[in-house]
Structure 1
Amino acid sequence: MDIQRIRARTAELLGEYRIPGATVGILHDGEITDLAVGVKDVSTGEPATTGTIYQCGSLSKTWTALAFMQFVDEGKVALDEPVRTYLPGFRVADPEVTARVTPRHLLNHTNGIEEDFGAPGEGDDVYERMVENIAGAPQVHPLGYTHGYSAALGYAILARVMEVIDGKGWDDIMRDRLFGPLGLTGTSSRPDQVDPGRAATGHVIRSLGEGPVASPLPHLPRAFGPGGNVNSTAREVLAMAHVVLGEGRARDGTRIVSAGSVREMTGSRVPVPDPYMFGPEWALGLIVCDWHGETVYAHDGSTVGQNARLRILPDSGIALSLMTNGGPRESFYKEVFNEILAELGAVTIPELPKPDPARALDLSRYEGVYERPGARYEVSADGGRLWLTFVLDPWQASFLGKPERIPYELLPISDTHFLMPSDDPLEDTQTVAIYDFQDGAARYLHTNCRVNPRAREE
């Protein structure tokens, strides 16, 4: 590879997207190459390095899933055994879900339990408290009915299962079972464990004119730990990815999980209603992508001002990681990764499909309000076109300098899938699925992996 060319191109893209810094990792045929560009903090101008530590966000779920599969290997937990087997006091509002939800439902985001876990605090009992707090949590959708991403709750329940079985806190489990055996020195599960001299500062980009400003939230609450609080470097993320490529073994040959567990993680899949933005299927702690016929495993992560991307190409013996302290922008990650993939002669990332302007739709079937706590989407027809209005909470709108109601036109790809372009230069085109028609109306809207049910009419 021409690393200097890739570094120069990445630096050029950083300037274009106004992202302060990035570190890129490339695992090819067992060897890791990494490079860093930009700065880790705009206020100090200190350069990003290959040792800079970033917040992984939801990429933490892949780490947690690997640790959980170790318990499966040891026969201490079964993927299809009810959670109540391990947590006898587990309870949610729906008695059937209480009795039947399994670790597999939690790993692949088909449990449907609302993220209604209250304020569990920042103590070592946070995951125990989260499980206690969901006794009245309703269902977003029936158990196993559709995919709907759980940002924090699903993986917190998995963490609590591990804690009860192992007699240790989740943070200690991750250190003792993964970070230590993999030989990782820059990876941790809590912000106070990160070396401040190596930590990237998150930045929010509200306008191209203003440029990046420091994030108002230095890290996510501890409730997000198993699903969002791992910190790592681009190289050490690839050390974890090697476990998938290496059928359960680390780069030095250490057995982390069994080959069977890797096959389970990658082979146990459910369909994703919106297949275009990330991938058509979700496995156990991994997204499954289809790049021009080649299967690629992935996970993304974002905190408020930091982002992580991981792509694993088993057929090509490649894994790529990208960590940034500004964004997120799908188009940035795609341009960087496509430069590297083309250099390696590998398959590149597919473009989004084109809209079908000739498709005739009964727009009334899609109209309505789709919402859940913290998210509201209003779909309406006007002048023969379909529109989605995203409703921001007042604080978010004020901080971002945006209106509280942002309209987007929905351009049909099929009877259930739409492109959602934006006229904001800081936003990429997104995709939306509106689906599951009953009595002439859609029941769910799925975008950014999240599912939002149609609101009941008053």
Structure 2
Amino acid sequence: MRRFVLALALSLVVAAPGPAWGTEPAAAPTPAAIDRYLREAFDSTGLPGMSAVVTHGDRIVHATGLGRDASGRPVTADTPMRVASVSKSFTATAVMTLVDEGRVALDQPVASYLPEFRMADPRAARITVRQLLNQTSGLSDRTVDIGATQRATTLAGYLAALRHGRLAGEPGARWEYCNVNYDVAARLVEVVDGRDFAEAMRARVFGRLGMGVSAVGDRAAQPSEGFVSVYGTWRARAELPGFRGGAGGIVTTASDMGRWLISQTGHGPQVVTDGSLAVLHEPSPGSGYAMGWGAEEVEGRTLLVHSGNLFTYTAVQAVDPATGFGFAVMTNSASLYDDTYDVLLGLVALADGRRPAVPGGGRQTTETALAVTALVAFGLGVLGVLRSGRWARLRAGRAWWRTGLRLVWALVPVAVLASYPQWASALMNGRAVTWAQLTYFPAPLTITLAVAAAAGLATAAARLVRLRSVG
């Protein structure tokens, strides 16, 4: 269930303390050991394509790719992958380069740098840069027209789509995960730097770290298709269209992620000062969320973690402050069960000198259970229609309200399906969910609910027809 909720939420959101890099010596696992584990994990999970990297201190221990992309090409350590919400840590770092240059102050209002950032709520004028990056701004999917933002084609247009929105609370009062924070932050980088966001990222982060393939935007990912799992089988699909900027627009490779992770442990080339790196990893009071990073307790150790899910790609990154290890796992697929996180845990175990558990089976088990549920619902629907005449004869002459209650029960699956985006949004703490999104990685659940709703509707309709004929 935990993996299902994380996948449905589109991104794993966790928090982190400030870094204390390399306080415990650790011997790096050998490339051969990492490769052996990744091949076992790839086979057991049944993923179509996966790339991964492990770093330690100032070196890449091992980077590799397995499987194939949607065009049939082999996945390698240099295959571009969309990393979705992992992009947030990159955007935050770009903002901190401007802080280091004295061109941006974290506790200044965003509007002082972006006069175009205006909303129907006057409180928006008080949102600070720090609150954007800590996701404590008050911005929320519940009070902003997310559909309008997704139709934008530029960051300037994205901000214009916020004009009629309001805040869900006072700036700085509480934490709420919302992609809008990081797309506004990307526009801030664009305006203060003087170049478009993609170019600013290339100059300020990717170029300085030697991340030669990494870029912002859909055109960087070839092919544009990934995979979704439908009842255990992988189907190639084009990525769902929509605006992707600072919150989820980065495309990168395992090799490039190795350079990024090295910098995040304080080793190798740096793009921010040591003090700014500490700020990036320090959670805001009471929220547990830092700036595109968070904390996950693994075997008694706190790791800095962030993951992301689009609709046909999934990724997760982590660094271990105690040992200086870095890890990233990326796949060109998405499903209700997040295998990338389980693969990551195995890499962490290897780095700790423990025997990793080979992941796999979670996706297959989850989707098999949904397939069985759909078959049972279909069978009950057929049975309900076939036995509707008998049902009507048994209830002929009874009080109408008793019969009505029996019919209502058959329509419960219809109500569940009709409200599907709303309760899915509630599971995700108010994140906006559309029907189009629900046809991607949640497809097995969506199909199962649709089958159950059709079965219930057919049963209720057949019973009503039979009641009329009996009456």
Fold similarity call, TM over 0.5: yes
Partner residue of 1:20 out of 48, 57, 75:
48
SS where residue 225 of structure 1 aligns? Answer: coil
Is the Cα–Cα contact under 8 Å of residues 40 and 52 in structure 1 kept in the other structure? no
Partner residue of 2:164 out of 123, 129, 136:
136
Q: 1:37 to 1:50 in 2, by over 3 A?
A: closer
Query: How far apart, in 1, do the equivalents of 2:150 and 2:434 lie?
Result: 22
Partner residue of 1:226 out of 246, 250, 253:
246
Q: 1:174 to 1:349 in 2, by over 3 A?
A: farther
Is structure 2 residue 68 aligned with structure 1 residue 40? yes
Report the Cα offset of residue 73 of structure 1. Answer: 0.6
The residue number in structure 1 matching 2:460 is none
Structure having the higher Rg: 2
The residue number in structure 2 matching 1:95 is 122
SS where residue 311 of structure 1 aligns? Answer: strand
Partner residue of 1:376 out of 423, 427, 434:
423
Query: How far apart, in 2, do the equivalents of 1:207 and 1:77 lie?
Result: 49
CA RMSD, Structure 1 to Structure 2 (Å): 3.4
Query: How far apart, in 1, do the equivalents of 2:433 and 2:117 lie?
Result: 33
Report the Cα offset of residue 76 of structure 1. Answer: 0.8
Q: 1:13 to 1:346 in 2, by over 3 A?
A: closer
Partner residue of 1:83 out of 110, 113, 117:
110
Report the Cα offset of residue 120 of structure 1. Answer: 6.5
SS where residue 246 of structure 2 aligns? Answer: helix
Q: 1:374 to 1:139 in 2, by over 3 A?
A: farther
The residue number in structure 2 matching 1:215 is 237
Report the Cα offset of residue 122 of structure 1. Answer: 5.8
Query: How far apart, in 1, do the equivalents of 2:38 and 2:132 lie?
Result: 36
Is the Cα–Cα contact under 8 Å of residues 155 and 227 in structure 1 kept in the other structure? yes
The residue number in structure 2 matching 1:161 is 188
Report the Cα offset of residue 236 of structure 1. Answer: 1.1
Partner residue of 1:345 out of 339, 346, 352:
352
The residue number in structure 2 matching 1:206 is 230
The residue number in structure 2 matching 1:264 is 279
The residue number in structure 1 matching 2:409 is none
Is structure 2 residue 196 aligned with structure 1 residue 187? no
Is the Cα–Cα contact under 8 Å of residues 54 and 233 in structure 1 kept in the other structure? yes
SS where residue 304 of structure 2 aligns? Answer: strand
Higher relative contact order (CA 8 A, sep 6+): 2
Query: How far apart, in 1, do the equivalents of 2:225 and 2:193 lie?
Result: 34
What fraction of aligned residue pairs are identical, expressed as a percent?
25
Query: How far apart, in 1, do the equivalents of 2:54 and 2:149 lie?
Result: 39
Is the Cα–Cα contact under 8 Å of residues 218 and 224 in structure 2 kept in the other structure? no
Q: Comparing 65-74 with 392-401, which one deviates more in the overlay?
A: 392-401
Query: How far apart, in 1, do the equivalents of 2:425 and 2:118 lie?
Result: 32
Query: 5+ residue gaps in structure 2?
Result: 1-28, 358-415, 451-471
Q: How many residues align?
A: 354
The residue number in structure 1 matching 2:289 is 282
The residue number in structure 2 matching 1:69 is 96
Partner residue of 1:235 out of 235, 244, 255:
255
SS where residue 244 of structure 2 aligns? Answer: helix
Q: 1:391 to 1:229 in 2, by over 3 A?
A: closer
| Cα deviation 1:301-352 (Å, max 9, x = unaligned) | 21211111100002111000111112357663344233333332268999xx
Query: 5+ residue gaps in structure 1?
Result: 273-280, 351-368, 380-387, 408-458
SS where residue 402 of structure 1 aligns? Answer: helix
Query: How far apart, in 2, do the equivalents of 1:112 and 1:348 lie?
Result: 43
What residue identity is the alignment partner of 1:261? S
The residue number in structure 2 matching 1:402 is 445
SS where residue 156 of structure 2 aligns? Answer: helix
Q: 1:120 to 1:213 in 2, by over 3 A?
A: closer
Is the Cα–Cα contact under 8 Å of residues 85 and 247 in structure 2 kept in the other structure? yes
Is the Cα–Cα contact under 8 Å of residues 34 and 234 in structure 1 kept in the other structure? no
SS where residue 76 of structure 2 aligns? Answer: coil
Query: How far apart, in 2, do the equivalents of 1:86 and 1:239 lie?
Result: 31
Is structure 2 residue 317 aligned with structure 1 residue 310? yes
